[in-house]
Amino acid sequence: MEEIVSQLITPEVKTAFMVVLILIGVLYLVSIIWVIRDSYLRGSNPIIWGIISLIPFIGAFAYSMLRPPMLLSDRDEQELDFMLKQRELLKYGECGKCGYPVEREYLMCPRCGTQLKNECQRCGHALNPDWTVCPFCTTRVGQR
């Protein structure tokens, strides 16, 4: 039996086995580095995830299943994009009578003709109906 084992385990097989073990070790170390770096970029605690990833391969697998879905930079970009779209939508309103989308400066609804705002007699800017003074030229509403 010992003779068969010695014939199977040749120096070439030992070398190949060592290379495979070294590759597995390198893969293990790279997975730990990846978990720490990725958890930092995603806003998680990299120290805790680094400790968890020390469990060979199971820790990295657990991190890949539980990690936050987006990077911090992607989250910030998405938030800025959302705020920009929100600001764009604030430029518009809708007619109280027919619901047609109207711009903030419209005095009348282009669809149904309902008066949306008053016009300053002095400077011509659109004024909300509840304003008593034009904020652009400081004229009292209804005066010239």
pLDDT at 143: 62
pLDDT in tens, 97-124: 898 888 877 888 999 998 888 888 888 8
Provide the pLDDT for residue 40.
94
Q: Are 128 and 120 in contact (CB under 8 A)?
A: no
92 compared with 95, residue with greater pLDDT: 95
Tens-digit pLDDT profile for residues 20-30: 999 999 999 99
Instruction: Identify the residue with better confidence: 111 or 89.
Output: 111
User: How far apart, in whole angstroms, are the C-alpha atoms of residue 23 and residue 19?
Assistant: 6
